[in-house]
Amino acid sequence: MVHIVGAGPGNPDLITVKGQKLLQSADVVIYAGSLVNPELLKLCRPDTEIYNSAEMTLDEVIQVIEKANFSKKNIIRLHTGDPAIYGAIKEQIDELQKRKIEFEIIPGVSSCFATAAALRSELTLPGITQTVIITRREGRTPMPERESLKNLARSQSTMCIFLSVGAISEVVEDLIAGGFAPNTPVAVVQKASWPDEKILRGTLDTIAEKVQAEKIDKTAMIIVGHCLNPEEYEKSKLYSPEFTHAFRQATK
Ligand code: SAH
């Protein structure tokens, strides 16, 4: 049996209880070494076989899984954040299904939520926006034109931009071309939830310079939108004294 587990954003306490228990009983762990905090591997038994997938191809990963599965071992494939976001899990799932190897996916805290927590922000504010876009800029993975940052920016929703801080100037250019005003608030958080977490706040016209001055070129999340500096938002209906819902009567 294979468990595809979300490791969370970095702080080892931010893995789920289920993920933690699975690591404690794992026979084989294949972890995404570029981003998963190696501290998590200390949860494993001393005899757990550990592989770093950053140094392996998909074929090699599958070979390790296939062999271990044949010997009825507990296998963990440990991905950073939540496996569903830029986790390249679909290609692994296809290979597992081809081989009739059973698997389960355990979700994790995505780095976009660890970033929102570091910023002490709510990404969905009534009267500002009720939508969060998870996206990236084109890199080696191409982006369809309809999903370009410029096109997505038109909705003025909160945007969590992964994998793109290395091209911060181009990100800013695209967002402004799409209709975000140059004074729109934006934050860049590097290594959210790690001990060396770094938070930069600014506006679209100041952030690129700050990012370059701090030499941040990887492992960072860009969050942009008016939710970061809400001048005028509406309080929720859910906790309003004038609002009745299934669990509470209005008191005003
Ligand atoms: N599945 C992961 C994302 C993997 S893609 C998740 O759900 O978080 C890798 C990108 O995630 C990085 O380029 C960066 O943009 C972001 N990232 C991962 N860990 C991060 C962290 N601790 N702080 C900020 N951004 C992070």
C-alpha 248 chain-centroid distance: 35
Q: The tokens of 237 are what?
A: 């209906």
Does 11 sit in the ligand 1 pocket, CB within 6 Å? no
Distance 162 CA to ligand 1 centre (A): 6
Which residue from 4, 197, 219 has its CB within 8 A of the most atoms of ligand 1, so it is best to mutate?
Answer: 219
Where residue 108 falls among pLDDT bands split at 50, 70, 90? very high
**Distance spanning both ends of the chain, measured CA to CA:** 56
How far, in Å, CA of 20 to CA of 95, rounded? 25
C-beta of 86 in contact with ligand 1 (< 6 A): yes
Q: How far is CA 175 from the centre of its chain?
A: 20
Residues 26-46 have a mean pLDDT of 96
* Residue 226 near ligand 1, beta carbon < 6 Å: no
The arithmetic mean of pLDDT across residues 105-110, rounded, is 98
Rounded to 5 degrees, φ, ψ at 27 are -90, -35
- Res 247: pLDDT: 83
CA-nearest of 180, 176, 160, 190 to 226 is 180
CB 199 within 8 A of CB 118: yes
Per-residue model confidence as pLDDT tens digits over 166-199: 999 999 999 999 999 999 999 999 999 999 999 9
Q: State how far the alpha carbon of 112 is from the alpha carbons of 61, 135, 182, 190, 226, in Å.
A: 27, 11, 23, 11, 16
Question: Residue 191, class by beta-carbon neighbours within 10 Å (0-12 exposed, 13-18 middle, 19+ buried)?
Answer: buried
On the question of pLDDT at 241 being above 90, the answer is: no
Q: What per-residue confidence (pLDDT) applies to 230?
A: 80
Distances (CA, A) of 17 to 24, 61, 78, 113: 11, 25, 14, 18
Is the confidence at residue 213, as pLDDT, over 90? yes
Q: Which of 14, 221, 224 to mutate to test the pocket of ligand 1 (most atoms within 8 A of CB)?
A: 221
pLDDT digits (tens, 9 = 90+) for 132-144: 999 999 888 888 9
Which residues are paired to 187 by β-bridges? 201, 223
Residues 94-120 have a mean pLDDT of 98
pLDDT at 170: 97
CA of 78 to the centre of ligand 1 (A): 14
Supply the residue whose CA is at minimum distance from atom 11 of ligand 1.
162
CB 111 near ligand 1, within 6 Å = yes
CA of 219 to the centre of ligand 1 (A): 6
Q: What is the mean pLDDT of the chain?
A: 95
**Ligand 1 pocket, 162 CB below 6 A?**
yes
Residue 232 reports pLDDT greater than 80: no
pLDDT interval class at 235 (50, 70, 90): confident
Percent pLDDT > 70 in the chain is 100
Q: Are strands 185-190 and 220-224 parallel, antiparallel or unpaired?
A: antiparallel
Contacts of residue 50, defined as CB under 8 A and 6 or more positions apart, other chains included, come to: 28, 29, 30, 31, 41, 44
